[in-house]
């Protein structure tokens, strides 16, 4: 997901932290999210943490104009959106493949990761 966001986020809106990093753990603790049980990425916006489908929709709202169509899914009840999110998350490697190696970020990309 991070690689996708980096490619799409032309305005460098997003910063990143690994859930297991000190910065990530600190943020998750601040927002009362158990990082050991979290199976979602987290989007923090306006001092509020979002997970699963809410996080995805918040994220897509900040991406270029051609992703704005995704905002229609706010009308779908959260329990249905989260169910779809879970199905996609469970099958993501089977459907989209898995990288054998982590990317080596360029200096510009590296600056977007919290230490």
User: Could you give the count of Cα atoms lying within 13 Å of 84 in the half-sphere of its Cβ?
Assistant: 10
Closest Cα to residue 111, out of 1, 7, 17, 10? 17
Write out pLDDT tens, residues 13-48.
Answer: 888 887 778 888 888 889 988 866 666 788 889 999
Residue 77, φ and ψ in degrees, nearest 5: -55, 145
Residues whose CB falls within 8 Å of the CB of residue 44, separated by 6 or more in sequence, listed in order = 27, 31, 50
Confidence of residue 98 (pLDDT cuts 50, 70, 90): low
Question: Would you say residue 99 has pLDDT above 70?
Answer: no
Q: How far apart are CA 31 and CA 16, in angstroms?
A: 16
Question: Which of 44-53, 58-67, 76-85, 93-102 is predicted with the least confidence, judged by mean pLDDT?
Answer: 93-102
pTM: 0.77
Please state the rounded mean pLDDT for residues 89-100. 70
38 to 20, 52, 63: CA distances (angstroms): 11, 10, 24
């Amino acid at each position: 997901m991070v690689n996708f966001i980096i490619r799409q986020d032309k305005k460098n809106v997003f910063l990143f932290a690994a859930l297991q990093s000190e910065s990530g753990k600190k943020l998750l603790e601040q927002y009362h999210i158990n990082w050991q049980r979290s199976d979602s990425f987290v989007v923090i916006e306006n001092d509020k943490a979002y997970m699963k489908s809410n996080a995805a929709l918040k994220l897509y709202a900040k991406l270029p104009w051609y992703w704005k169509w995704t905002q229609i899914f706010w009308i779908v009840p959260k329990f249905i959106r989260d169910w779809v999110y879970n199905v996609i998350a469970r099958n993501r490697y089977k459907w989209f493949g898995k990288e054998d190696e982590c990317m080596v970020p360029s200096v510009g990309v590296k600056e977007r990761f919290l230490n």
